[in-house]
């Protein structure tokens, strides 16, 4: 029974996180034609709370997925490997975030709306490319956890 709650929690947290990343991607892509000042202003607003939202969804998603992996480790087939794959994918999102997105976020907090850096567009592109990869990884992880939840129901 406790493992069932972990499966549900993992699925919900990963889904909220993946949905959050998709929403940010839509916002970022809608700003592709904005000039540096507009982009900087919107990013500064985004950075007020989005890193915290990412942390309170991604880190618990990783933790609950690890519980599911541990609880299902002795099983065979999809019941074992789907959550393990999701855990690897979510860990990949965390690593990519720490290596690319978070350092850029920190740098962008120092940008000024009136005078963005000369290379603002290349920094934006680097952040957005890494973000697209995060969206793909998180969405696949969510799908794997969804399939694992279905597999769990079939296991009894």
Q: Tens of pLDDT along 34-51?
A: 999 999 999 999 999 998
CB half-sphere exposure, 84, CA atoms < 13 A:
12
Q: Are 149 and 12 in contact (CB under 8 A)?
A: no
Range of the domain at 9: 2-155
CA distance 85 to 145: 9
* Longest CA–CA separation in the chain, Å: 60
| pLDDT, position 4 | 86
pLDDT, greater one: 137 or 75: 137
Instruction: Supply the pTM of this predicted model.
Output: 0.92
> Does residue 156 have a pLDDT over 50?
no
pLDDT band at 123 (very low <50, low <70, confident <90, very high): very high
CA distance 142 to 14: 5
> pLDDT per residue over 77-90, tens digit each?
777 899 999 999 99
Q: What is the chain's Cα-based Rg?
A: 18
Q: Are 137 and 92 in contact (CB under 8 A)?
A: yes
Q: How many domains does the chain have?
A: 1
121: tokens are 């567009």
pLDDT, greater one: 156 or 109: 109
């Amino acid at each position: 029974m406790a493992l069932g709650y972990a499966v549900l929690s993992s699925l919900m947290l990963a889904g909220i996180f993946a949905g959050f990343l998709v929403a940010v991607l839509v916002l970022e892509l809608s700003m592709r034609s904005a000039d540096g000042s507009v982009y900087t202003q919107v990013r500064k607003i985004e950075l007020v709370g989005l890193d915290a939202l990412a942390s309170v969804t991604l880190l618990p998603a990783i933790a609950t997925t690890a519980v599911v992996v541990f609880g299902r480790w002795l099983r065979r087939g999809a019941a074992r490997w789907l959550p393990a794959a999701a855990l690897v994918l979510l860990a990949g999102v965390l690593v990519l975030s720490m290596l690319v997105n978070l350092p850029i976020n920190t740098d962008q907090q120092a940008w000024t709306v009136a005078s963005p850096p000369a290379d603002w567009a290349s920094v934006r592109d680097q952040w957005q490319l890494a973000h697209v990869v995060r969206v793909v990884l998180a969405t696949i992880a969510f799908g794997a956890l969804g399939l694992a939840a279905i597999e769990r129901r079939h296991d009894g």
